[in-house]
Structure 1
Amino acid sequence: MAVLVSLLAFLMTLAGGLAAMRVRDHRHLVLGLAGGLMLGVVAFDLIPESLEMTHDRPLGVPAPMIGFACGFLLLHVVEQAVAIHRGHEGEYAPHDHPGGHAHGPAEGRAGLLAAAALVGHSLVDGLSIGLGFQSGMETGVFVALAVITHDFADGFNTFTAASLNRENNRPALLMLLADAAAPIVGAALTLLVSVPDAVLGPYLGVFAGVLLYLAASEILPEAHSGHPRVMTLCATGIGLLAVVFSVGVAG
């Protein structure tokens, strides 16, 4: 049953990615919306969920929040390491391209890393569906509703992040397919293994830190680069409200 329900998550994720692909002509609005969705997912979904999963407090700090800080720093270190590896500062400092967008060579890799983290989150979503049905039909349906409701945003964010500063959409499409298939794989895994919340909680914290870094340092600044601020801010606000609504419906 869990695997069959996860097929709906597969379709919803693909729908989100295809929506992001279709509106590429309004790139600043897409990025503004994606930034709002990411901030909403971090604040209203991932952090609360991770804190509910585990109450471990190493050194008096909740384990998911330690993971959150590590995830944020991880993406920052990856960006800087890639930039330094490329050579002198002038080679990786922000620069302009014919399309009017300013970026450095590390940003595309940061987007792919964030997209990979989204795939991992979708795998956890599938695990949640499977474990929910193991607890009972009613619990399984509730968890599945919560997952399916926000999978549209997951697909949208995955495609947007993976295509950040890339002309070739192939990596983004592959990431989107992986993200769509991940819930099915996760649900199937629950038939074989059991993953403790003590592990999932800190992981979700790491994932939240990765998403926040990408939204704050890459997507939102790029969205506001050379475009009308008001419309982009409105798109970001719509993204936040969409996550609040989806969390409220699922709850």
Structure 2
Amino acid sequence: MAVLLSLAALVMTLAGGLLALRVRDHRHLVLGLAGGLILGVVAFDLIPEALRITGARLLHVPVPMIGFAAGFALLHVVEQAAAIHRAHEREYAPHTHAHGRSGPLAAAALVGHSLVDGLSIGLGFQAGASSGLVVALAVIVHDLADGFNTVTVASLHRTDRRPAILLLLADALAPVAGTLIALSVPVPHALLGPYLGFFAGVLLYLAAAEILPEAHSGHPRVLTLCTTGLGVLLVLGVVGAA
């Protein structure tokens, strides 16, 4: 049952990625929606889940939040060190990028998140059939957004779709691999909490420093802002329903 449900997550991920590929003519709206989806996933899914998984603290600070700050800072340092991101001082000005590395890096982090989703399905079924089913349904529903975001961030500042398609395939297969791992190898929750916090920091940096400024650059802002708000509300509704 767990493996079959992870295959359903695979299908949903592919569907989200194919949707992102088909709407490239309205790229600024896609980016605005992706930014909202990422903000919602970070605020309503990743951070609460990380804090629920582990209550460990370091210097009275929850360990997942230390991971969150580390992820945010690491992506910033990587971009600056590689001269990837050169933003103009003017607000919402066009951005130039020497290399499009930050997008694939964040897409790879999304693949890691999908692997954790698969681990969650397997761990849920280890706790009981009803728990596993609830977790699996939540994963299946939000994997549509995962596939959409993977393609969007992987193709940021790129015209070649092949890396995005390869990362989409990896993202789709990740929940199945995670489920198989969890059903065969015990995974300590103490590691999952800090990882989810770290991953949330990486995604929030990408949304704030890359996706949303790019979405507003050279395009009408009101409609793009509406799609961003829609993305946040969609994730809130999915998390609330799950």
User: What TM-score comes out, normalization by structure 1 length?
Assistant: 0.92
Q: How far apart, CA to CA, are the structure 2 residues paired with 1:216 and 1:94?
A: 12
Structure 2 counterpart of 1:139, from 131, 134, 159: 131
Q: How far apart, CA to CA, are the structure 2 residues paired with 1:53 and 1:94?
A: 37
Structure 2 counterpart of 1:153, from 132, 145, 148: 145
Aligned to 1:87: none
Aligned to 1:189: 181
Q: For residues 151-174 of structure 1, give each alpha carbon's deviation from its aligned partner in whole angstroms, at most 9, with x where no partner exists.
A: 000000000000000000000000
Aligned to 2:220: 228
Q: Which runs of 5+ in 2 are unaligned?
A: none
Q: CA deviation at 1:136?
A: 1.0
The residue type paired with residue 83 of structure 1 is: A
Q: For residues 17-72 of structure 1, give each alpha carbon's deviation from its aligned partner in whole angstroms, at most 9, with x where no partner exists.
A: 11111000000000000000000000000000000000000111000000000000
Q: How far apart, CA to CA, are the structure 1 residues paired with 2:23 and 2:76?
A: 29
**Helix, strand or coil: the match of 1:83?**
coil
1:240 matched to 2:228: no
Aligned to 1:88: none
The residue type paired with residue 109 of structure 1 is: R
Residue correspondence of structure 1 range 14-93 to structure 2 within 5 A: 14-83=14-83, 93=86
Give the number of aligned pairs: 238
Q: For residues 190-212 of structure 1, give each alpha carbon's deviation from its aligned partner in whole angstroms, at most 9, with x where no partner exists.
A: 12211111110000000000000
Q: CA deviation at 1:102?
A: 3.5
State the Cα RMSD in Å.
1.4
The residue type paired with residue 195 of structure 2 is: Y
Aligned to 2:96: 103
The residue type paired with residue 104 of structure 2 is: L
Q: How far apart, CA to CA, are the structure 1 residues paired with 2:75 and 2:95?
A: 19
The residue type paired with residue 236 of structure 2 is: V
**Helix, strand or coil: the match of 1:164?**
coil
Quick one: percent identity of the two aligned structures?
71
Q: CA deviation at 1:83?
A: 1.0
Q: How far apart, CA to CA, are the structure 1 residues paired with 2:95 and 2:126?
A: 49
Q: How far apart, CA to CA, are the structure 2 residues paired with 1:64 and 1:40?
A: 17
Q: How far apart, CA to CA, are the structure 1 residues paired with 2:71 and 2:95?
A: 25
Q: Which runs of 5+ in 1 are unaligned?
A: 85-91
Q: For residues 105-136 of structure 1, give each alpha carbon's deviation from its aligned partner in whole angstroms, at most 9, with x where no partner exists.
A: 24x21111100000000000000001111111
